[in-house]
A and B are shown apart, each in its own frame.
Chain A
Amino acid sequence: MRARRHPWALAGLWGWQSALAVVVSWPAASFVASIYGTPPRRDGPLWDSGGHALLDFLWHGARGLAPIATTAEMALGICATVGLLPAAAAMVAIAYTKADRRPVGFVGSAGGAVRAMPSLLWLLLVVGLAQAATVVLGVLIAEGAQAWLHDGWGEQRADRVAAAIAVVFAIAASGVGVMHDLARAAVLCRRLTGWRALGLGARVFGRAPLPLWWSWAWRAVTSWIPVLAAAAVAARVGGRGGGPLILLAVLHQGVVLSRVALRTSWLAKALRSVHAVDPA
């Protein structure tokens, strides 16, 4: 159960995210092209350092951009829910092989994912609420501590204490997220219903919480490094087109793929962890 042995599962996830992204960005780019689409520089001025043309465009184009923003919100909503399907399909592809040890293929993966959807949606709702509650509680306690300590300890110390509390709750919320992934793995790997899968996920997590959390965390943190590097490159590319733009596009897609790979690698780890435990 290694993600790297299933490149098509990674490609499928990347393809799903990319297709959805293109659905949103295409109208945005078309709108921009209606104003800044002509040669010689096309939309180059919008990305020039200084930002004058971009700010001017955002002002004049605010009404045109509003429906595009709505489309983006819809896409995000779809991805947060329907996105379960491709993620689950990727996990099925990693977890199972045919009798002849060949991959289960697209149909097999998709079929397994569809069958697991009710339980996965139940988990999404229940664990999502638990995660949100953890975050809200953390914010409330952090703000309360900040207000309480502010006068006596000073602003900076109070802010740091609040930040520390927020970090603790963020870690707790991420722990809930790790348990969520383990429960998903249990649904797909052990074909359990939502409630039993949650129980198994909690049991697996309880056996080795820190190693499992760290296994998730290092991948999550590492996945931001290429994003930061790409931002620095984008700043240098600015409004240039041609070769620099193509290189930037390749770099960006490399970033997206590397993040997909790291995420899938963690899901494979979750599958292995659940697989190693007796569900009874």
Chain B
Amino acid sequence: MIRPVRWAPGFALISALLLGGEPPASAPPGLVAPPFDDSALPEHADDVVDYTLRATLDPVTHMVHGEGTIVWRNTSLAPVRELWLHLYLNAFKNEQSTFLRERVGGRGSSPPEDWGWVDVRRLALRDPDGTATELWPVAELHRPGETDETDARVPLSRAVAPGESATLEVVFDDKLPAVVERTGYWGSFHMVGQWFPKIARLERDGRWAHFPFHHLSEFYADFGTYDVTIDVPEGFTIGATGPLVESRIENRRRVERHVQRDVHDFAWTAWDRFETLRDEIGGVRVAVLYPPGYGPVARRELAAVRFALPYYGARYGRYPYDVLTLVHPPEGAREAGGMEYPTLITSDGAWWDPPAVLTPEIVTIHELGHQWFYGMVATDELSWPLLDEGINQFAEIDAMAKWRGEGSAVDFAGLRASDAAVQAVGGNMAVHDEPVAQSASAFSNGSSYARLVYARTASVVETLARVYGDASVARALGAYARRNRFQHPEPERLLEAFRDAMGPRVASTLRTALFDKGWVDYAVDGVGTQEAQRLAGVFDRDGKREKVDPGASAEGGWDSFVLVRRRGTLSFPVDVELTFADGSTRREHWDGEGEWQRWAWHGASALRSAVVDPDDRVLVDMNLGNNVGAVSSAGRWAPRTFERATYWMQLALQAVSP
């Protein structure tokens, strides 16, 4: 999920007039990952749970009636005597839900305008003799003393042995909420996510990874095959996870069957006003569903997919599915925008967004990245949000930079800010507050979550790319994504990939940054230069005693020094650029291991200034203002700022002048 940026309309309109060149159509050559052998990638996930469901939408009451079967296999080493079902629509049932009680700010903070819930009507376990045992009457919807109804415990009538499968018959009714946090309705638009009773993931050791729907958390589940038949009024257009395998009209109803294996969730949308744009990109059938009037935005989103799908495929392993559906929700349903589901993503942006405002592109590329970091690398999004949102945020800024260059976030009136710079400063703002590597529910508020999980993780990885080379990080993340395709890795697997590709120092740096609130500030703490002088004192040379007074001039040249400090717990190798009075420059390299480094030398010219990290590689440097040191503080002057500030002020004054 992305936290959408709302650009001021005025800003957007003005920038539309100012800027907006067409981006390149595809990745520049040489900027993709080093080649991996993708023939070794696993074709399929371990099929743990299969859902065969039929969903019938009543767009007037916003109810979805669902029924079908769930075949679940015990992949642990222990017999299972209970199941845990996630009923996440109940997060919007009342203000006693964990989701609505967690007042952490940000998206979905207000209660929905219309409540939503899921009522399980029937849950039964098929017995070997063909009969079925009703389970729902004994299910525990919430724990004693708790009020949240999103995490139900279902005692089984018999134990399911390791390796054994259990077949469940399920009937349920959803009341969709007014659109809130990724799901719900707005008028006749319906975004149907987290809509069915979903079995939590059982870890190998027999522990259920179950959790209520937390405000800042997303999801976690086993891979399987989803075979879902969706039944909506005839005039509605459907978008859903997986390819359409069957479609018919019966009794003035549109019935579509979508089947997708190797995924761990299923979402769908239905609206009677969708317009559709289609393309085929590298063998993947891409559909963009968008509201009337959003054609130009849909084309921009498709262009973003056209760039990013092959780019991500080269970098993190080929996209294994046949379809991708991109949904652009209507204006009133923007809460449904900026979300990822397997093979279905939702984007964001206004129909009038000018080309210089890159919201549609950024959101599309972000959500597409989740097909890898969430979809295929299916991490526990509650326990380790850095592994999906954080790594995916890096994937986003990397892709945006490769596609759009330095103006990848803002490109307005001569000011160009990159997505990476925005993330870097955002991450630095919160770095001392909390660690990045913690559960989503442990964050103090949405702001810290966004700044640390998204921004900090991305800027740390981007710093590694700038310092050690993009190809090294591409190797590390490429290997991580491929090794863990269709797996459920934890952070150690990420660190292991970086260790293998870039060495133990990088892995250690990454661990400190993510787990221990690691930070760094490079500073030029001293710069000096003086005419070379003879050493003073009394010296016995060649049998004679010679006295040299302090300040006695040497034969020529200058003695200079620079002192550079590294504050904080992270370390990166850096360059220091020295500028001399005669205009010459030279660079010193520091491995950054110690807490300070001093260079002293004798040269023909006086030192003027020193700059640490002149190429802006250490994106996480806490304070760039102390990266420059000059021998003399006289003559300080900021001509560019004075010139631009004066000009802008003149324009502002003209605007208000009578």
- The answer to the question of B235 belonging to the interface, with a C-beta cut-off of 8 Å to chain A, is no
Count of interface residues, chain A, beta-carbon cutoff 8 Å: 80
Contacting residue for B625 out of A28, A56, A76, A253, CB 8 A: A56
Per-residue CB proximity of A88-103 to B under 8 Å, as 1/0?
Answer: 0000000000000000
Per-residue CB proximity of B638-652 to A under 8 Å, as 1/0?
Answer: 111111111101111
Residues of A within 8 A of B409 (CB): 51
- The answer to the question of A186 belonging to the interface, with a C-beta cut-off of 8 Å to chain B, is no
Contacting residue for A18 out of B629, B638, B639, B650, CB 8 A: B650
Q: Which of B23-31, B289-297, B507-515 contacts A (4 or more CB under 8 A)?
A: B289-297
Contacting residue for B415 out of A51, A59, A184, A260, CB 8 A: A51
Closest chain-B Cβ to A139's Cβ sits at a distance in Å of: 12
- The answer to the question of B416 belonging to the interface, with a C-beta cut-off of 8 Å to chain A, is yes
- With A60-B623, A231-B413: A252-B418 Cβ-Cβ less than 8 Å: no
- With A47-B644, A80-B658, A231-B413: A38-B633 Cβ-Cβ less than 8 Å: yes
Contacting residue for A39 out of B608, B641, B652, CB 8 A: B608
- With A151-B187, A155-B331: A56-B653 Cβ-Cβ less than 8 Å: no
Which residues 53-104 of A have a CB within 8 angstroms of B? 53-57, 59-61, 72, 75-76, 79-81, 83-84, 87
Closest chain-B Cβ to A86's Cβ sits at a distance in Å of: 9
Contacting residue for A51 out of B18, B421, B651, B657, CB 8 A: B421
- With A154-B292, A241-B639: A228-B644 Cβ-Cβ less than 8 Å: no
- The answer to the question of A22 belonging to the interface, with a C-beta cut-off of 8 Å to chain B, is yes
Residues of B within 8 A of A81 (CB): 658
Whether B418 contacts A159 by the Cβ 8 Å rule is no
- With A59-B425, A252-B647: A155-B656 Cβ-Cβ less than 8 Å: no
Bound complex: CA of A42 vs CA of B422, how far in Å?
22
Contacting residue for A43 out of B332, B420, B639, B656, CB 8 A: B639
Q: How many A-B residue pairs have CB under 8 A?
A: 229
Q: Which of A29-37, A189-197, A205-213 contacts B (4 or more CB under 8 A)?
A: A29-37
- With A76-B653, A157-B293, A232-B414: A37-B638 Cβ-Cβ less than 8 Å: yes
- The answer to the question of A136 belonging to the interface, with a C-beta cut-off of 8 Å to chain B, is no
User: Across the two chains, which residue of chain B brings its CB closest to A72?
Assistant: B649
Most buried by A among B624, B641, B642: B641
Closest chain-B Cβ to A127's Cβ sits at a distance in Å of: 10
Whether A33 contacts B636 by the Cβ 8 Å rule is yes
Whether B639 contacts A50 by the Cβ 8 Å rule is no
Contacting residue for B628 out of A17, A38, A84, A150, CB 8 A: A38
Closest chain-B Cβ to A73's Cβ sits at a distance in Å of: 10
Closest chain-A Cβ to B176's Cβ sits at a distance in Å of: 18
- The answer to the question of B206 belonging to the interface, with a C-beta cut-off of 8 Å to chain A, is no
Binding site for A on B (CB under 8 A): 17-19, 187, 273, 291-294, 330-332, 351-352, 405-407, 409-410, 413-418, 420-422, 424-425, 428-429, 579, 585, 608-609, 611, 616, 619, 623-625, 628-630, 633, 635-647, 649-654, 656-658
